[in-house]
Amino acid sequence: MNSRPPKHLTPIYPSEVGSAELVAAWPRIRAGIYDILESSPATAVTMTFLSLFRLGTSEKGDNNPKTVYVALDYDSQASTWPPILDAMQAHVDTFQMDLKVHMEHNPQGREEGLSSGWYAWLLGPRQD
């Protein structure tokens, strides 16, 4: 018998990245992620939330990986994501900041996590 809870029942803990260097690079990271998402018919106009924080199963935030979190609505088929995820991971790897990209369906992403101090960016008119 497996004593570990299934992955979908394991609590996930977000926390701030706590890195001034990473926060300063976030506009360039975010712009590249956005461009990759918008260049694919599978993910164009389906992003609901794009954020940067530590995300993982440890209650101690510093133990969790620095994560670029990408939420998409259910109009985006997860089976089409692998090459898009690879492109986004290649983009964040160029910053050499040990970042992980995580994608998931979360159509309510726009309403979640905004008051917790995370570095978040919601869809809207691009300023750059």
Question: Does residue 72 fall inside a structural domain?
Answer: yes
| Cα–Cα dist 21/32, whole Å | 17
What pLDDT score was predicted for residue 7? Answer: 54
| Cα–Cα dist 57/12, whole Å | 5
Question: Does residue 35 fall inside a structural domain?
Answer: yes
Q: Rounded to two decimals, what is the model's pTM? A: 0.78
Distance, C-alpha 86 to centroid of its chain:
13
- How many percent of the chain have pLDDT more than 90? 59
* 81-101 residues labelled b (16+ CB within 10 A) or e (exposed): beebbebbeebbeeeeeebeb
Question: Does residue 117 fall inside a structural domain?
Answer: no
Question: Does residue 31 fall inside a structural domain?
Answer: yes
> Which CATH number does the domain housing residue 86 bear?
3.30.70
Question: Does residue 6 fall inside a structural domain?
Answer: no
Question: Does residue 120 fall inside a structural domain?
Answer: no
Give the range of the structural domain holding residue 25, as residue numbers without chain letter: 12-110
At 13, is the pLDDT very low, low, confident or very high (cuts 50, 70, 90)? confident
> pLDDT tens for residues 46-82?
998 899 999 999 999 999 999 999 999 999 999 999 9
Question: Does residue 70 fall inside a structural domain?
Answer: yes
Do residues 70 and 76 make contact, with C-beta atoms less than 8 angstroms apart?
Answer: no
Q: Tell me whether strands 47-56 and 99-105 are parallel, antiparallel or unpaired.
A: unpaired
Instruction: Return the residue matching tokens 């970042």.
Output: 99
The number of distinct structural domains making up the chain is 1
Question: Does residue 123 fall inside a structural domain?
Answer: no
